[in-house]
Amino acid sequence: MEVEKRILLFLFLSSILFGYSLTITPAYLSNIGFTPLDYGFLNAVRSAAGLVSSLAAGIFVDYIGALPVVVISLALCAAGFGSMSIPSKPLIFLGATALSLGGAAQHVSMDVLISRVFDAEHYESIYSKSYSITLVGSSIGGFAGWIPTLVSSAESLTRAYSASLALTAVLIMLTALPLSGVSEHRFGRDRVSASIMDSLKGFKELSRGTPLYLLIAELIVSMGASMSVRMAGFYFVKKFHVQSNALGTLNGATNLAMAALAMAAPRLSARVGHPIAAYIAMCSLSIPMLVAMTYAPSFTTAAAIYISRTALMNAAAPLYTAFTMRVVSSEVRGKMSSAMIFTSVAGAVAGSIAGGILMNIDLDAPFRATAAVYTIYLLFLYTFIVRRKKRK
């Protein structure tokens, strides 16, 4: 099996499991007594764990290679799913921490692995493919959210959610099997640093110019997303009293819509002439929808709006990733990916706490606040990335 297919198969299989777990978790936590404030603080704890993981992963990806970090990340995720399967708040917080440690490390290591396996001229194509196949897998996992509601009674639904998380803990490690035939370029174009100190020195390149502006932008958008969008499943459970079947349909349809749009994003980038300009164009259309969703009279209407705005906001993400990998030298791509996630989860800590507090007062308030933050984010990108390049 060729390398591209092995990487895409791994992303597909792992995303099914992550998509399924993300679908059932909001209903599971609501059923065992989590409040919006609890959920907000849970997300803040996960984000704080991601701060540590993203920094460490970036260093070790450039020190020992991306593939070993992928395996370590899956082991952490397995431990996290297992702990969260036990309906106890302390164990759920512990499991969520492990899951975040693993998730952030996997994100960093896979972005860098792809950059080391493929040549730069293929980045837009391969990042779009990997993003799309991940979304398709997540979509399947989302639709699988119907399974617990079909095989369980209302009284045993919480136990079905718990058993599902325990099974996911076992299966997640098996998804690494396709990567057994993949080898990364460790010398020459993407030399792995000879020492930890060499790895740490590489962060200096990220403290000026375009890399710095990208990191600031990531901080802003993550704060906005964590205030509301990353709590959307819990929001729908509380506002419309739905369970994992409805959330599964919502997540599945959302991911399919994003996958379809993501494949068209490189063509839009070529037409616009700048990947970040294309990204801004697509994201800007989603902001009014975010506010409109809060006035929807039913779950069906709110879900239709949510699917459209989420697809527009996220479909061009591969263009953003490809641009990010290009603006830094190959030797520090692990650190750039690490720094991006580090700033992302830093913003998520503040955003999750603020979102939990706002949602505890008014379920709709976090989404309206996020619309304002997203507007600031896109204006920042246009001013410091797109216009700056035009001046040059």
Does residue 189 lie in a domain region? no
**For the range 89-93, what are the long-range contacts, defined as Cβ-Cβ under 8 Å and sequence gap of 24 or more?**
89/34, 89/38, 92/29, 92/42, 93/42, 93/45
pLDDT in tens, 233-290: 999 999 999 989 999 999 999 989 988 888 777 777 778 878 888 899 999 999 999 9
pLDDT in tens, 91-118: 999 999 999 999 989 988 898 888 888 8
Higher pLDDT, 24 or 60: 24
Does residue 195 lie in a domain region? no
Does residue 186 lie in a domain region? no
Does residue 87 lie in a domain region? yes
Block residue for tokens 């960093």 = 108
Percent of the chain with pLDDT over 70: 93
pLDDT attached to residue 284:
94
Would you say how long the chain is, in residues? 392
Does residue 190 lie in a domain region? no
Q: Is 326 exposed, middle or buried (0-12, 13-18, 19+ CB in 10 A)?
A: middle
CATH code for position 349: 1.20.1250.20
pLDDT attached to residue 193:
46
pLDDT in tens, 181-232: 787 764 344 444 444 455 555 566 677 788 899 999 999 999 999 999 989 9
Higher pLDDT, 249 or 344: 249
Residue 390 has pLDDT above 60, yes or no: no
Higher pLDDT, 58 or 92: 92
Q: What is the mean pLDDT of residues 293-310?
A: 96
Residue 166 has pLDDT above 60, yes or no: yes
pLDDT attached to residue 316:
80
How high is the mean pLDDT of the chain? Answer: 87
pLDDT attached to residue 14:
96
Range of the domain at 275: 3-175+200-391
What's the structural domain count of the chain? 1
pLDDT attached to residue 389:
61
Does residue 7 lie in a domain region? yes
pLDDT in tens, 123-142: 778 888 898 899 899 999 99
Query: How far is Cα of residue 173 from the mean position of the Cα atoms in its chain?
Result: 19
Does residue 359 lie in a domain region? yes
pLDDT attached to residue 189:
41
pLDDT attached to residue 205:
66
pLDDT attached to residue 52:
85
Does residue 261 lie in a domain region? yes
